[in-house]
Amino acid sequence: MFDVDNDIIHSNRSSVVFRSPPGEPDAIDITEDDVDTLVDGGHLSDGIVDFYSLVLLGPDMGVSSNIATFTSLFATLLMQNRAFTLASLASQASSSFECEFWVMAVVRHGHWFLAIVVRPNELAKCVIKLAT
């Protein structure tokens, strides 16, 4: 699972309850605040949604290597500033552009869903071209 800037995510959070997968640099941290969102009537946090996405779409689930998965933070950044986010990812020589599909969790207004981008390489070319 790809993340844009892990330092941003962790700077304002409560203590970590667990990390999955343990020891991985792009692991998803579940904090006390995330667990608190699981009470009846609560809204799922980005951390819980990202963890769930990792469980469903992680390498242990037999997901094709032709599918790149991203955190909800990436989805938020992508929706806010498509050209900049895609250009910064492209400048990292990311192998994600070689994938046929991108799947990312999107958390908006207390609800979440999975967004699927087909042929992200073509999308990136169009968006970056429009921005320049």
What does each C-alpha distance from 121 to 23, 41, 59, 117, 131 come to in angstroms?
31, 39, 22, 10, 16
Determine the residue type at 126: C
Q: What is the pLDDT of residue 87?
A: 64
Name the DSSP class of 23. T
pLDDT tens for 59-111 read 677 777 788 888 888 788 777 776 676 666 665 556 777 888 888 888 887 78
pLDDT of 83 reads 64
Q: What is the pLDDT of residues 15-73, one digit of tens each?
A: 888 888 788 877 888 888 888 888 877 778 888 888 888 777 776 777 777 888 888 88
Give the per-residue pLDDT at 7.
43
pLDDT surpasses 50 at 8: no
Question: How far apart are alpha carbons 42 and 123 in whole angstroms?
Answer: 35
* C-alpha torsion sign, points 11, 13, 19, 21: negative
| All domains of the chain in start order, with CATH | 6-131 (3.30.310)
